[in-house]
Amino acid sequence: MNPLIFTTILMTVLLGTMIVMMSSHWLMIWIGFEMNLLAIIPILMKKYNPRTMEASTKYFLTQATASMLLMMAIIINLMHSGQWTIMKVFNPTASIIMTSALAMKLGLTPFHFWVPEVTQGISLTSGLILLTWQKLAPMSILYQISPSINLNILLTMAVLSILVGGWGGLNQTQLRKIMAYSSIAHMGWMTAVLAYNPTLTMLNMLIYIMMTLTMFMLFIHSSSTTTLSLSHTWNKTPLTTTLILITLLSMGGLPPLSGFMPKWMIIQELTKNSSIILPTLMAIMALLNLYFYMRLTYSTSLTMFPSTNNMKMKWQFETKRITLLPPLIVMSSLLLPLTPMLSILD
> Where on the chain is the footprint of another protein (CB under 8 A)?
1, 5, 8-9, 12, 15, 19, 28, 31, 34-35, 38-39, 41-42, 45, 48, 72, 76, 79-80, 93
Q: Decide: 122 and 43 in contact? Cβ < 8 Å.
A: no
In the complex, minimum distance from the CB of residue 48 to another protein, in angstroms, rounded to a whole number: 5
Q: Is 79 or 341 the residue whose CB approaches another protein more closely?
A: 79
Instruction: Give the residue with the Cβ less far from another protein, 57 or 226.
Output: 57
Torsion of CA 156, 159, 163, 166, to 10 degrees: 140
C-beta of 79 vs 281, nearer to another protein: 79
Asked if 134 contacts 127 with a C-beta cutoff of 8 angstroms, the reply is: no
Dihedral sign computed on CA atoms, order 93, 97, 103, 108: positive
CB of 29 to another protein, least distance (A): 11
- What is the spatial distance between Cα 171 and Cα 224, in angstroms, rounded to a whole number? 18
Find all residues with CB under 8 Å of 112, minimum gap 6, and list them.
Answer: 161, 164, 165, 184
60 contacts: CB under 8 Å, gap ≥ 6: 37, 41
Q: Are 204 and 190 spatial neighbours (Cβ–Cβ below 8 Å)?
A: yes
Residue among 33 and 196 whose Cβ is closer to another protein: 33
Residue 72 CB, shortest distance to another protein, in Å, is: 8
Of 92 and 337, which CB lies nearer to another protein in the complex structure?
92
Q: Find the shortest distance in angstroms from Cβ 42 to another protein.
A: 4
Question: DSSP for 139-154?
Answer: HHHHHHTGGGS-HHHH
Give min distance, CB of 46 to another protein, in A: 10
Q: Shortest approach of another protein to residue 267 CB, angstroms? A: 38
E strand map for 231-338: none
Between 4 and 277, whose beta carbon lies closer to another protein?
4
Annotate 176-213 with DSSP letters as a single string: HHHHHHHHHHHHHHHHHSTTT-HHHHHHHHHHHHHHHH
